[in-house]
Structure 1
Amino acid sequence: MKKTVKYFFFLISIVVLTGCGTREFLGFEKKKFKLPGKRIAILKEENNENIPILKSKIEVVLDESSTTSDWLQSNSSANHLSINHLSDSKLEVFKTLVSGKGETKNSKILTQPVIYKNNIFFLDAKSNVISFDLIEKRIIWKKNISSEGEKNHDIGGGLAIYKDTLIINSPYRQIISLDIESGEVIWVKDIESALRSSPTIYDNKLLSLTLGNKLYALNAESGDLLWEHQGLFNNTTLMSSPKVAIDENIVIVPYSNGDFFALNLNNGREIWRNSFIDLEVKETTNTFTDIDAFPVIKRDMVFMTSAVGKLSAINKKTGNKFWTKDIFSTQTPAVNGNNIFIINKNKELICLNIIDGGVKWSLNIDEGLSDQYRYRWMAPILINSKLIIVGGEKKLIIIDPFNGSILSIKKMPSFPTTSPLVVGGKLYLMLKNGAVVSIE
């Protein structure tokens, strides 16, 4: 009888432990809770077998085409909204205007040129800043910003225009102001770590984000420090880094550890903070958590994407997420009208509805156009109500933004460093070989 009772309790114990999940029940693992609702992947997985499930019935509406007279900073603005550019280019001919030093294994060009008063300013792969007159077709001045005795760290850096000065984020741990006419130094600010992205200019303030996840806010006139903000350092990071976004009195700053903040422009105080990183990602080792794409602000919505594989629409004032989609991109989305156009996994171009993230259309980019996806596609840009993407294996693709169909594919002379810029109806593009070309 005693043996029977013992076996009975033994069997009951096994059933209880099995039902609870033995490792969780005994404390070896945390108990896993199933979240309510159904998890829906709106995009194809890597095997491209799944078709987007969440379809939007909202039609594509674009802003009216307009002309830009200058290109004062990367993406032409502090909020990074996409303009539907008006241009007279037929996108047929690539003409070299001026050349600097091209990329090597240890030197990279990561940011766009800027254009002001018919002069184009660019940073080549050897940290030479070059001013070129687009009318007279000649170099006005050239200045090297490498530090003495510290050559060959020429990865990134960027430019912006403030009044009649050129502001430079240097990969040599300096923020520099040059006279736009002569190239003479006005002021230099030494900082703690390298800069790979362009500064953001808003009113009389400039904001520069370092590779060490530190944001500096300076007076653009004098270079005096106004305030600074420190994010957490990240050991694993991609090569490029983002440019902060500003709208009204709010600064949106993304850090390479996946955190992003809203800060008060005047004093740097935190308004809210959020993150792309959840417990699942934190428990994964050697995971890239970078936010390389620029934040985009449209009214009270902020659009953020990261290497974690998330695209989120966020309330600018509270930091609450309106929606999040499983999209992986290191390229800044083009936000225009009621649409978000974004490159996903370097394999497809997707059009999403701003309000709910529903997919309006998706276009698979043939792997043959980028040598089995070996080469990157740059951020999309709207020109004459057509979507343009450059990259892949030296390709320029023209796409109908209303249905995602490919209209034309052009061959480029070299690989691009960024998307084209459009000023006065003319297209310009920086190439990895150090050349600046016009697209006519």
Structure 2
Amino acid sequence: MTYRVSSRSVAALSLLAFSLSACETLDQFITPGVKVEVKGERVAVLPSASAVEVDPKLKNDPVVLPKPVVNAEWPQPGGYADNVMHHLSAVGKLNREWSSSIGSGSSSDTRLTASPVVSAGKVYVLDSQVNVSAYDAKSGDRLWRVDLTPNDEDAEEGFGGGVAVDGDKLFVSTGFGFVAALNAKNGKEIWRRSATVPFRAAPVVNGGRVFVATQENQLMALAEDDGRVLWDHRGIAESAGILGSNSVAVSGDLVVVPYTSGELFALNVRNGRPVWSDTLARSGGLTPLSSLADISGRPVIDRGLVFANSHAGRLVAIDMRTGERAWTIDVGGTQRPWVVGDYVYVITDNAQVLCVRRADGRVRWIHQLDAYRDPEGRRGAIAWSGPVLVSDRLVAVSSEGYAVSISPYTGQVLGQIDIPDKAFIAPIVANNTVYVLTDDARLTALR
């Protein structure tokens, strides 16, 4: 058996960090029922509590967005390699078209983290026990399934990683520490490349290269045709991070990789040499959770700027060539910024949706989502994933088993629908259909 670090042992602190997101606040340790008067000015002390405000000068400026377009595919974890999808189309009330079980969902020992992808009329998914499946995008019928668990391993050890499609190949990264290329038509394995530690990130394919990061903040560039290692790059190793399946962003000759250390590197795609780097970590966190610098949301490359968001409390726009920051907002988050037209939409880690001007980082509007099941007692934190912009609606899913749609123009709630279970993976969109993968491993098509 090839020596490697156990996915479960490496991810233990990540699971702890995930659990901490639902911790109670310090207010609950004050004697219940006793009102305490606190003198002085209230100041935000945690990254998620930053006092971001709407710019009053933008109050009367209309938000104008490009028209929705139909995208036939969503082949990469973030849609395309640069993680930019703009304004997508899915007209109508989004009724359930079909719903299928993809295998094993989250449990006390595993987590479902991989985003589905769509290509050539098929939806490809990876469950929490390393089963890879293909489904007909129109009917939801399963076309094939492959179990990638090694013979001498426990399937529950292999969670993590993700999937990506390029042409007739499906690429899979796993918590067992290998990347495999499969025939997208039937699931037959073409090649496999092993590492010594689990892969935490989903693969991204571009220009004949497969980019994927390990649990120890090592980015590997593999040849798409045979899996040989072309180069690798290492960031600072971190023992803890936010549980999820992140991925790089690629545009032109640059690949931007986010690490759990809060480091953001722009590398040359041909040789892995750093072009520039930044860190989105902040000092002064009062708890272990607030000090996590993980960039767990996918970075975005759009029209010469890189957008990234860290859990430690930094949303930034960076010039992709020079590495100089265009602007910074002190808000934390774990979700990918959604960039479209002249605006950036992002969900913060205190459940606020921000509409930010792309050019200068000024906030146009803020909408507060439900943050707790018990708002008065601040108990039962609610996690949000998304948003995606589809037919003039920002759609986000929650850990409470429902999804909301918000106006991208005003921030007002447009509607709410129930989904089969809690969800921690952002929806994807392809061919006028929204796909939601819930934590119980049920894939639902809304059309």
In which range does the TM-score fall when normalised by the shorter chain?
A: 0.7 to 0.9
Instruction: Please tell me whether residue 358 in structure 1 is matched to residue 345 in structure 2.
Output: no
CA distance in structure 1 between the partners assigned to 2:316 and 2:427 by the alignment = 25
234-243 or 304-313, which moves further after superposition?
Answer: 234-243
Task: Report the residue type matching 2:172 in the other structure.
Answer: I
Shift, 1:94, TM fit? 6.4
Partner of 2:398: 391
Partner of 1:124: 127
1:208-227 to structure 2, matched below 5 A, reads 208-227=212-231
**Aligned mate of 1:71, from 59, 64, 74:** 74
Q: Secondary structure at the match of 2:152?
A: coil
Partner of 2:422: 415
Partner of 1:112: 115
CA distance in structure 1 between the partners assigned to 2:45 and 2:197 by the alignment = 38
Q: Secondary structure at the match of 2:244?
A: coil
Instruction: Please tell me whether residue 133 in structure 1 is matched to residue 136 in structure 2.
Output: yes
1:424-435 to structure 2, matched below 5 A, reads 424-435=431-442
1:224-263 to structure 2, matched below 5 A, reads 224-263=228-267
Shift, 1:299, TM fit? 1.2
Deviations 1:130-173 (A, max 9, x none): 11223464322111112232212133210001210110011100
CA distance in structure 1 between the partners assigned to 2:317 and 2:139 by the alignment = 45
**Aligned mate of 2:341, from 329, 337, 342:** 337
Going from structure 1 to structure 2, the CA distance change for 1:61 and 1:373 (only over 3 Å counts) comes to farther
Shift, 1:285, TM fit? 6.8
Partner of 2:329: 325
CA distance in structure 1 between the partners assigned to 2:95 and 2:140 by the alignment = 21
Unaligned runs of 5+ in 2: 1-42
Q: Is contact 1:323–1:357 with CA below 8 Å preserved after alignment? A: yes
Deviations 1:322-371 (A, max 9, x none): 11111110011111111111111242111011111111000111345688
Deviations 1:75-115 (A, max 9, x none): 21111113211113412436313431221111111121111
Partner of 2:149: 146
Partner of 1:52: 53
Task: Report the residue type matching 2:53 in the other structure.
Answer: P
**Aligned mate of 1:304, from 286, 302, 308:** 308
Q: Is contact 2:102–2:133 with CA below 8 Å preserved after alignment? A: no
Q: Secondary structure at the match of 1:350?
A: strand
Aligned length: 398
Q: Is contact 1:42–1:325 with CA below 8 Å preserved after alignment? A: no
Going from structure 1 to structure 2, the CA distance change for 1:407 and 1:282 (only over 3 Å counts) comes to closer
Q: Secondary structure at the match of 1:418?
A: coil
CA distance in structure 2 between the partners assigned to 1:96 and 1:137 by the alignment = 7
Going from structure 1 to structure 2, the CA distance change for 1:373 and 1:293 (only over 3 Å counts) comes to farther
Going from structure 1 to structure 2, the CA distance change for 1:244 and 1:285 (only over 3 Å counts) comes to same
**Aligned mate of 1:190, from 174, 182, 194:** 194
1:271-286 to structure 2, matched below 5 A, reads 271-277=275-281, 280=283
Q: Is contact 1:43–1:52 with CA below 8 Å preserved after alignment? A: no
Shift, 1:120, TM fit? 1.2
Q: Secondary structure at the match of 1:75?
A: coil
Q: Is contact 1:369–1:395 with CA below 8 Å preserved after alignment? A: no
Q: TM-score under structure 2 normalisation?
A: 0.83
Aligned-pair RMSD on alpha carbons? 2.5
CA distance in structure 1 between the partners assigned to 2:102 and 2:265 by the alignment = 38
CA distance in structure 1 between the partners assigned to 2:269 and 2:47 by the alignment = 40
CA distance in structure 2 between the partners assigned to 1:66 and 1:79 by the alignment = 17
Going from structure 1 to structure 2, the CA distance change for 1:82 and 1:381 (only over 3 Å counts) comes to same
Q: Is contact 1:350–1:363 with CA below 8 Å preserved after alignment? A: yes
Q: Secondary structure at the match of 1:378?
A: strand
CA distance in structure 1 between the partners assigned to 2:133 and 2:191 by the alignment = 18
Q: Is contact 1:430–1:436 with CA below 8 Å preserved after alignment? A: yes
